[in-house]
Structure 1
């Protein structure tokens, strides 16, 4: 027998003995002798995982499954808590957005005028019986005008914080933002005339 063959047989015998020893050990003994994060026995843990299986080792150390088996890895430990945190953050964001609309309505006269116009146009639409396409156009115009007014208000507040004193560049920024609101309002009025004028002419005839 050559030296190479004797080395192969000795390695196989050692592996068989190690497997037999590990198979006679309890799970508590495996846990006490295989602690990679405390004792650094990575090689013995690899041998143990080959013998008892990686699933058993994961259960002993309370480890998550590998990423190949667990696509939702970051929610493995506490998925319920993370879902509740996600929902609570969305609710908080919704409350902050609603609070911003309320604060802008309280402080800005133009925004209150826009909301009054939205209420009047909505009531007129129900009375005159607008079609589905006309309602879609009206709602889009509502969203456009109100959104631009809110953006204009936020720009004005931001400019006041940056430079409370009169400043010509800041004035230009405010004027441009207000011009966007004016332009959208003019277009909305023209579209409203196109939609409501034929219906009003039929009623008054």
Structure 2
């Protein structure tokens, strides 16, 4: 009897069958023996054997990456990693909420905070490139503000006329530089 139970257990394990598949619990993804599901719908073409759930939104198999159960076009599953704040990357591209971000240098791409990310050459806010940004000197300040050596930004938009060298965030809504005060990224009237 003991030999029969051990044989059955070995067979179940070899076919990736278990009494409780912990890889899919409390997650919209579920990995079955041969198929993968997202919120009850089968993901066509997903490889159950190599499928890995990265977070509640991103997953990958040996060939592709997925966001909300949809294959991410042009993604490389073997090198794909989920980052923070909706960002992800593979060896060649970076993504925001499953969409490829154009012009990114994936090898230096990192997430920062408050929806910001950067590579060596530029910065991004919620997946959109911030024009005129300089990635090597780009830093997050607080409450949606950020700056590099040349410019200041509020929620991804350049604040025209703001002076980076003296710019400071005062509180949740106000900031200032040596010459002006700003409210939610807009210059106030003095």
TM (norm. structure 2) is 0.25
Q: Which has the higher contact order (CA 8 A, sep 6+)?
A: 1
Higher fraction of strand: 2
**Which structure is larger by alpha-carbon Rg, 1 or 2?**
1
